[in-house]
Amino acid sequence: GAGVSQSPSNKVTEKGKDVELRCDPISGHTALYWYRQSLGQGLEFLIYFQGNSAPDKSGLPSDRFSAERTGGSVSTLTIQRTQQEDSAVYLCASSLVGAALHFGNGTRLTVT
């Protein structure tokens, strides 16, 4: 497709389970970002990938959060041992270097 694609669009999980969120960036975009949007809050930066460089993980809130980007394209954000405070919309964005970010529609995660 032409835009950033995220799956699933909604995910409900039980506290303590692991979840994986997927992002397909726009073809040719070398930069990929994950942000988290909690209810009524702005966007919280989580992690950034650029080409083959080491990712900027400075926004990950705990060691339960990790992300990888395989082959410079698809990215997976993994949350282990989910907690209720992890409930949020997880947004992925991609861009060309130095250009504006293009966002996907997000994955709404609910931890019960």
Instruction: Say whether residue 2 binds another protein (CB under 8 A).
Output: no
Q: Which of 8, 15, 17, 41 binds another protein (CB under 8 A)?
A: 41
H or E stretch at 64: none
- Footprint on residues 17-36 left by another protein (CB under 8 A): 31, 33, 35
60 lies in the site for another protein, by CB under 8 A: no
Any residues with CB less than 8 A from the CB of 41 and at least 6 apart, and which?
A: none
Complex with another protein: residue 14 or 42, whichever CB lies closer: 42
Q: Does the footprint of another protein cover residue 74 (CB under 8 A)?
A: no
Alpha helices in 24-64 (DSSP H): none
Give yes or no for a contact between 8 and 77, defined as CB atoms under 8 angstroms apart. Answer: no
The rounded distance, in Å, linking the Cα atoms of 94 and 4 is 7
Tell me which residues touch another protein (CB under 8 A): 4, 6, 31, 33, 35, 40-43, 45, 48, 50, 56, 59, 91, 93, 100-106
